[in-house]
Chain A
């Protein structure tokens, strides 16, 4: 698989945040992440190959939040692991992923540890309580991250820790607490503060709302939105469409390892709706909509049908769909919903 040539134009789709938020206007041309033809293949023990991520291309600009949505096993967490260099040894990558001038694919562990994790990509983890070390106070963990990432010592380190805490809206008076003494919301902010220390231009939020109450989901979503408005690029990986609707400027839908639709959040969640049959089905499954599941199960990544992977579940499938649809005009489908009908 060859990566398409990287075009020098500004990031795709940056019009949306620029139009909707004046405060992010100055970040518009700054492409933080460029992913081109990214594929991740696992070699299984029996010698089979499984394409968990296949030919994924997208851009992400400063001040913009892109939500990557899809069901579990669709490849979205593998994509996150690829960006962080955290793939298992049996994984092979192809294509390119450049964050803030650094190529991530094939980068050595030293480069990743020294220039990427925490410095170019801050990770806002799933279940922050589990991500924090239980036996040390939030302040101690924050200070340690500051020392590791910035080399600052003493009062300078303390100041940097306080700044990160303030930016994550973590109350300074709680820095001497242990993770288990924090509410779910504060634990989430503590983990976010740690992600903010290195001033990474890209924040990667991996299922940050799983298992949270709706109120806390909204709160977490709003905090992420605020970090985007302050100039971070945010990649929000989630199965929670409500959180995506609340936070994102654009939505990318993954199915069986491929992006099948990428659209502005306004069009996607608004009256126009998605154009890809899978994306439409996913939205229709929400309890506030039809509450109707998409029939069948997602396909096995090691055993994909020829052509469109959604065909066995798709009401619009026909002979044309035995040919793999390419992503064109934001949708990978031979019979997408026509917006102009």
Chain B
């Protein structure tokens, strides 16, 4: 289980943007979280991805509360959750070639260069990226191609959980369907859980096992 228990979160000393939010994703389950822009759902997504320390409340993974937060949770815990954001250009290091971008999480956890390269190639292929494209840098590819690379990067450590925050909001219909298919293939194979955060009800209803409204899981 990936459990968010009574999470309050915000930035600096300002008013919290998330108050008392609770949500559970079971292994292999796909949960859609629907909310208007600015409601705080992206902040909650960062908490679920173990990238943003909650001011109060707990993240619990398979019964173990996540401890040792600095700004983010310890890296060893973070490898359990992969995350993809809305804007690949803000999250992807512009200096890295796509193949390095995808392999980097493996290098960061100490895998050998050869193993990282091989695994990155395999994952890249699963998201539809091959050949010469992998030698390019972010500014040399389209938004859709870069988002494919970001998804590969999120999957390369084979996480048990995936958080997708408006992953397809900037993408055309075909690329959206393609990326959702990649996520679903991965989840089937690894029995991974998904938290898909977004504002598009039609998309989340079609994609997820269940969809919850922001207003039902968090305090106003």
A residues touching B (Cβ–Cβ < 8 Å)?
Answer: 70-73, 184, 210-216, 239, 241, 281-283, 285-288, 291-294, 296-298
- The one of B36, B142, B166, B177 in contact with A285, judged by C-beta atoms closer than 8 angstroms, is B177
Residues of chain B with a CB closer than 8 A to A297's CB: 128, 144-145
Please determine whether A293 and B36 come into contact, CB atoms closer than 8 angstroms.
no
CA distance A224 to B146 in the complex (A): 31
Q: Whole-angstrom distance from the CB of B128 to the nearest CB of chain A?
A: 6
Contacts of B38 in A (CB 8 A): 184
B3 within 8 A of partner (CB) = no
B174: Cβ under 8 A from any A Cβ:
yes
Tell me, in angstroms, the Cα distance from A70 to B142 when the chains sit together: 13
Cα A285 to Cα B170 with chains together (Å): 15
Given contacts A71-B144, A72-B143, A214-B199, contact A291 B177 (CB under 8 A): yes
Asked if B181 is an interface residue, CB under 8 A from chain A, the answer is: yes
Asked whether, in the complex, the Cβ of B172 is within 8 Å of the Cβ of A71, the reply is yes
Query: What 6 A-B pairs are tightest by C-beta distance, nearest first?
Result: A293-B178, A73-B142, A285-B173, A293-B177, A71-B172, A287-B206
With A288-B202, A291-B206 in contact, do A239 and B171 touch (Cβ < 8 Å)?
yes
Residues of A within 8 A of B166 (CB): 211
CA distance A227 to B147 in the complex (A): 34
* Docked CA distance A71–B166 (Å): 17
Q: Which residue of B lies closest to A288 (CB)?
A: B202
Pair B180/A211 contact, Cβ less than 8 Å: no
Residues in B whose Cβ lies below 8 Å from that of A282? 172-174
The contact size tier of chain B is: 20 to 34
7 pairs, A vs B, C-beta closer than 8 Å? A71-B144, A72-B170, A211-B166, A241-B173, A286-B202, A287-B176, A287-B206
Instruction: Indicate which residue in B144, B173, B181, B205 contacts A286 across the interface (CB closer than 8 Å).
Output: B173
Which single member of A72, A184, A214 contacts B200 (CB below 8 Å)? A214
**Which of A184, A213, A214, A283 touches B173 (beta carbons < 8 Å)?**
A283
A238 to chain B, nearest CB (A): 9
With an 8 A cutoff between CB atoms, is B37 at the interface? yes
For B22, the chain A residues whose CB sits under 8 A away are: none
Residues in B with CB closer than 8 Å to A294 are 174, 178
Bound-state CA distance A297–B132 (Å) is 13
- Write the chain B residue with the least CB distance to A70: B172
Q: In the assembled complex, which residues on chain B have CB atoms less than 8 Å from the CB atom of A292?
A: 177
Give, as a whole number of angstroms, the nearest-CB distance from A313 to chain B: 9
How far apart are B132's CB and chain A's nearest CB, in angstroms?
9
| Measured CA separation A241–B174 after assembly (Å) | 11
Give the CA-CA distance A285 to B175 in the complex, in Å. Answer: 8
* 7 other A-B residue contacts (CB within 8 Å) besides A73-B142, A211-B166: A70-B172, A214-B199, A214-B201, A241-B173, A286-B173, A287-B176, A288-B202
Instruction: Count A-B contacts at CB 8 Å.
Output: 82
CB distance from B14 to the nearest CB of A (A): 14
Tell me if B186 counts as interface (CB < 8 A to partner A).
no
Known: A71-B175, A211-B37, A287-B206. Contact between A293 and B181, CB under 8 A?
yes
B177 adjacent to A213 (CB under 8 Å) = no
Residues of A within 8 A of B143 (CB): 72-73
Chain B hits for A214, CB < 8 A: 199-201
Which residues of A sit under 8 angstroms from B24, Cβ to Cβ?
none
Query: Is there an interface contact between B172 and A239, defined as CB atoms closer than 8 Å?
Result: yes
Among A72, A184, A214, A283, the one with the most B-chain Cβ atoms within 10 Å of its Cβ is: A72
How many Å lie between the Cα of A288 and that of B207 in the bound state?
11
Contact partners of A211 in chain B: CB under 8 A: 37, 86, 166, 169-170
Interface 1/0 per residue, B148-185 and A, CB below 8 Å: 00000000000000000010011111111110110000
B203 at the interface (CB under 8 A from A): yes
Bound Cα distance A128, B161 (Å): 35
A72-B144, A239-B171 given as contacts; is B36 within 8 A of A287 (CB)? Answer: no
Chain B residues within an 8 Å CB radius of A293: 174-178, 181
Please, which residues of chain B bring their CB within 8 A of the CB of A291?
Answer: 177, 180, 206
Taken together as a complex, chains A and B put the C-alpha atoms of A281 and B199 apart, in Å, by 24
The residues of B that contact A239 with a CB separation of less than 8 Å are 170-173
User: CA of A283 to CA of B172 in the docked complex: distance in angstroms?
Assistant: 10
Chain A residues with CB under 8 A of B201:
214
User: What is the minimal beta-carbon distance from A4 to any residue of chain B, in angstroms?
Assistant: 30
Q: Which residue of A lies closest to B179 (CB)?
A: A293
Q: How far is the CA of A286 from the CA of B205 in the complex (A)?
A: 12
Q: Report B60 CB to chain A, min CB distance, Å.
A: 31
